[in-house]
């Protein structure tokens, strides 16, 4: 996760907890445009890694930057990179999984930071943040995929960061099919600052704000409309008894990131573990929203619970299936998800998903 060697957290949201829920996610997917150095607005040059980085990192970074199929946009604010979908990144449908999409988003966020010459230690913090032992933690993630790329398809992902009020920062993404330029996915996320030592949330100070605002668009740019979109929809807590469950999920070694905390993509997989097989067989995921509540470590045991979204928020289709109405007239099937600790029942993550019928072959 975000903090190296962090102690276990029983209640990590002591400050601002009444309005901000948080979760620990690999910092690569967060607001990774922070560094000791700042570029002038509009610059598209890559900087060398800052002097406080280890020498071996300084030597490796230029090579990796040259090999990547990506770089800053003309304004020096957003970052774009192309990826070929590999065979191990697709599922039984021969298309990329939602975990693949999330991993590529994470990679683009980290590469954005490195392209700007920012710290490559996985923290992506500013000079002021490091002095105050502050880190970024994610409070919310929303991903929509309109068409899943297939094996050997090439996608281009663009990302950028901007301020979001006085206490949060956001990172957005646009995903395009390189074959035709079609937008096939969008995503947005919200981030808050936490003190690495006390585990309390902290407001973004003027010193920190001045360090990263130089890289934010001068006019608000959003992957989704500011109003009337599901990225803003509040997720109701799923109450017992859940319709479907998968109990006793244990983090594998491969689920841990460089900071020895469960990686954010694992949360997505866990939430989907309790989706009923009949939905997996006949539908594909169109949208997922996640609210992160607390971190999960390697020795935690997790329960995954899923239920249909309450009927008050949905409609009944002619096949007697609970669904929400889609703009183009098709129906989406919505679910609520809850990840909780098996030992004490504490909430780890809540999520909402929408599923569309698979196209007939």
Residues assigned a catalytic role: 259, 261, 296
| Token pair listed for 85 | 């979908």
Q: Please enumerate in sequence order all residues whose Cβ is within 8 A of that of 254, keeping only pairs 6 or more positions apart, or say none.
A: none
Name beta bridge partners: 319.
none
CA triplet 120, 295, 299: central angle to 5 degrees? 100
Q: Please enumerate in sequence order all residues whose Cβ is within 8 A of that of 338, keeping only pairs 6 or more positions apart, or say none.
A: 237, 238, 242, 304, 305, 306, 347, 349, 350, 351
Q: How far apart are CA 289 and CA 291, in angstroms?
A: 7
Strands (DSSP E) found in 146-235:
154-164, 168-177, 183-195, 201-202
Q: How far apart are CA 336 and CA 338, in angstroms?
A: 7
DSSP letter at 77 equals S
Q: How far apart are CA 222 and CA 226, in angstroms?
A: 7
8 A C-beta contact, residue 118 and residue 127 = no
Tell me the HSE value of 53 on the side-chain side, using a 13 A CA sphere: 24
8 A C-beta contact, residue 187 and residue 142 = yes
Q: How far apart are CA 25 and CA 293, in angstroms?
A: 11
Q: How far apart are CA 56 and CA 43, in angstroms?
A: 26
Rounded to a whole number of angstroms, the CA Rg of the chain reads: 20
Q: Among residues 219, 187, 162, 22, which one has the least CA distance to residue 104?
A: 187
């Amino acid at each position: 996760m975000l903090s190296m060697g962090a102690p276990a957290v029983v209640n990590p949201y002591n400050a601002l907890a009444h309005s901000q829920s948080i979760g620990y996610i690999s910092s690569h997917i967060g607001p990774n445009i922070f560094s000791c150095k700042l570029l002038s607005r509009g610059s598209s040059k890559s900087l060398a890694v800052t002097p406080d980085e280890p020498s071996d990192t300084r030597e490796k970074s230029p090579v990796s930057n040259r090999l990547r199929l990506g770089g800053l946009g003309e304004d020096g604010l957003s970052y774009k990179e192309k990826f070929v979908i590999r065979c191990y990144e697709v599922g039984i449908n021969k298309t990329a999984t939602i975990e693949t999409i999330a991993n590529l988003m994470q990679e683009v966020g980290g590469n954005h930071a490195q392209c700007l010459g920012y710290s490559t230690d996985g923290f992506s913090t500013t000079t002021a943040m490091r002095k105050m032992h502050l880190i970024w933690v994610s409070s919310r993630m929303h991903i929509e995929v309109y068409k899943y790329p297939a094996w050997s398809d090439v996608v281009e992902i663009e990302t950028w960061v901007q301020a979001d009020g006085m206490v949060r920062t956001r990172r957005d993404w646009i995903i395009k099919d390189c074959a035709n330029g079609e937008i096939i996915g969008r995503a947005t996320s919200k981030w808050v600052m936490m003190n690495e030592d006390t585990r309390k949330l902290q407001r973004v100070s003027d010193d920190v704000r001045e360090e990263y605002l130089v890289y934010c668009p001068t006019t608000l740019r959003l992957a989704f409309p500011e109003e009337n979109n599901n990225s803003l929809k509040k997720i109701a807590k799923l109450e017992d008894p859940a319709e479907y469950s998968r109990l006793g999920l244990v983090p594998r070694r491969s689920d841990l990131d460089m900071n020895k905390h469960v990686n954010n993509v694992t949360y997505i997989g866990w939430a989907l573990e309790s989706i009923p097989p009949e939905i997996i067989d006949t539908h594909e995921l169109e949208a997922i929203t996640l609210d992160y509540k607390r971190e999960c470590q390697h020795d935690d045991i997790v329960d995954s619970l899923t239920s249909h979204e309450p009927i008050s928020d949905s409609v009944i289709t002619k096949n007697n299936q609970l669904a929400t109405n889609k703009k183009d007239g098709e129906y989406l099937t919505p679910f609520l998800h809850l990840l909780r600790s098996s030992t004490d029942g504490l909430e780890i993550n809540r999520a909402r998903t929408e599923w569309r019928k698979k196209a007939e072959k």
